[in-house]
């Protein structure tokens, strides 16, 4: 949700919680019976639901890609690219940015409560892959009534998600745009992201 913005800004944005009640089988073999994703949207979804663009964030990113939260002075991490008249033009596109499953900015992850145990997941949260994120994003699209994204866009780890969309769900994306990403993870990246 957003309030009107001026000067190319999407203005004040308010994150939304989207409940995904469809079970998700993860690559690690575990099952999430339900999960929540925090999203921000910018622009308007057209009647044909054909102008939706998904923004995939990098490892250190989150759902706050454009605009401002309340009185904060710092805009979203891709504010220079998303907004009226900008490269991802919210006068033309309905833009969806989410905090990935497992993220610590409100989506179901290690700092949220496991509904099966009633306790915070902590280190018991399942290990996730890029494929898991893309399947979760596919469920989000379905929940939002979007059968096909006009485009999926991301850089770095977000770019890996873009590539995974092209591999796993190619009929649900018209255009893929990735920036500064790898087609495979480098060994030094794998080492730095493994659990001790």
For residue 26, pLDDT beyond 70: yes
Record the pTM.
0.87
The string of pLDDT tens digits covering residues 164-192 is 999 999 999 998 776 655 555 544 444 43
- Distance between CA atoms of residues 65 and 110, nearest Å: 22
Instruction: Name the most confidently modeled range: 34-43, 153-162, 187-196.
Output: 34-43
For residue 196, pLDDT beyond 90: no
pLDDT of res. 179:
63
How large a percentage of the chain has pLDDT more than 90? 74
For residue 5, pLDDT beyond 50: no
Q: What's the mean pLDDT in 55-75?
A: 90
Q: What's the mean pLDDT in 19-46?
A: 97
Q: What's the mean pLDDT in 49-74?
A: 91
For residue 135, pLDDT beyond 90: yes
Structural domains present in the chain: 16-193 (3.40.50.1820)
pLDDT class of 4 with cuts at 50, 70, 90: very low
How large a percentage of the chain has pLDDT more than 70? 87
């Amino acid at each position: 949700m957003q309030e009107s913005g001026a000067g190319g800004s999407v203005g004040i944005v308010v994150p939304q919680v989207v409940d995904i009640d469809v079970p998700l089988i993860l690559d690690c073999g575990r099952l999430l019976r339900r999960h929540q994703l925090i999203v921000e949207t910018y622009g308007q979804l057209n009647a044909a639901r054909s102008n939706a663009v998904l923004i995939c964030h990098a490892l250190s990113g989150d759902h706050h890609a454009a605009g401002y939260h309340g009185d904060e002075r710092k805009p979203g991490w891709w504010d220079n690219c998303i907004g009226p008249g900008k490269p991802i033009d919210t006068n033309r596109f309905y833009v969806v940015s989410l905090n990935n499953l497992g993220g610590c900015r409100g989506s179901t992850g290690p700092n949220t409560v496991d509904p099966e145990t009633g306790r915070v997941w902590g280190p018991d949260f399942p290990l996730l892959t890029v494929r898991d994120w893309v399947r979760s994003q596919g469920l989000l699209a379905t929940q939002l009534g979007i059968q096909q994204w006009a485009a999926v866009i991301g850089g770095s780890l977000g770019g890996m998600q873009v590539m995974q969309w092209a591999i796993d769900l190619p009929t649900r994306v018209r255009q893929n745009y990735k920036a500064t990403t790898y087609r495979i993870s480098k060994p030094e990246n794998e080492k730095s992201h493994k659990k001790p």
